[in-house]
Amino acid sequence: MSFQYRFDILLRLRERERDEAGAAVGQANAAIAKIDQQMQEVEQTRVGLKQAMSGESLTGNVSVDRMLQGGRYDLQLQGDLQSLADTRGKLVQELQRRQEVLKTAQIEVKRWEKLKEIDQQRYREQQNHREQLELDEAASRNFQRAAATGHDTETLDDGRD
């Protein structure tokens, strides 16, 4: 008879919950990375716009309409950056929440695994005890059989004196 963990279903459930929590953390990290990339792109667009606007003013080709349009576009980009930063902040909070869920799930899995180890050790000890009892019983029967047939059970005569 092999060892059968009585709470194996619960351990598998906790492992699945841990794995799902890990996947959720990964999704949150991916979303944050995507927002970071979008923020970099918007920032690069702003830098390009500022360079283009300053280049025009250096050459003397200053168009008021283009400057106003560039200023409005820069304000729009700033708004986009602020919106992305707000979204990123919310995602970071969600990531922290998911990391806590993952941490709790990992603790639960470790707890159930420790219980499994304890049960396995207990099972091994019981098996060893049963085997020892069987060996003791067999030795006792052999001793009784030898005593009944009249053989010396205390010492073995090997011919040495």
Query: What is the overall mean pLDDT for the chain?
Result: 89
What mean pLDDT do residues 87-110 have?
98
Neighbour-count burial of 45, counting CB atoms closer than 10 A to its CB (0-12 exposed, 13-18 middle, 19+ buried): middle
Q: 151 in the Ramachandran plot: left (φ > 0), alpha (ψ -120 to 50) or beta?
A: beta
Instruction: Please report whether residue 135 resides in a domain.
Output: no
Looking at residue 18, its pLDDT comes to 96
Looking at residue 150, its pLDDT comes to 74
Instruction: Please report whether residue 69 resides in a domain.
Output: yes
Q: How confident is the model over 106-131, as pLDDT tens digits?
A: 999 999 999 999 999 999 999 999 99
Instruction: Please report whether residue 77 resides in a domain.
Output: yes
DSSP track, 88-120? HHHHHHHHHHHHHHHHHHHHHHHHHHHHHHHHH
Looking at residue 3, its pLDDT comes to 82
Q: How confident is the model over 4-19, as pLDDT tens digits?
A: 888 999 999 999 999 9
Q: What three-state secondary structure class fits 158? A: coil
* Residue 67 pLDDT exceeds 90: no
Instruction: Please report whether residue 21 resides in a domain.
Output: yes
Instruction: Please report whether residue 161 resides in a domain.
Output: no
Which of 115, 35, 116, 152 has its CA nearest to residue 83? Answer: 35
pLDDT band at 32; cut points 50, 70, 90: very high
pLDDT band at 58; cut points 50, 70, 90: low
Which of 34, 33, 53 has its CA nearest to residue 45? Answer: 53
Instruction: Please report whether residue 22 resides in a domain.
Output: yes
Domain hosting residue 12, numbered range: 8-105
Looking at residue 5, its pLDDT comes to 86
CA dihedral 125, 131, 135, 140 (to 10 degrees): 80
pLDDT band at 55; cut points 50, 70, 90: confident
The Cα-based distances of 60 to 46, 50, 53, 64, 161 in angstroms read 21, 16, 11, 12, 125
Domain count of the chain? 1
Query: For the chain, what is the total number of helices (H) and then of strands (E)?
Result: 2, 0
pLDDT band at 57; cut points 50, 70, 90: low
What is the pTM assigned to this prediction? Answer: 0.70
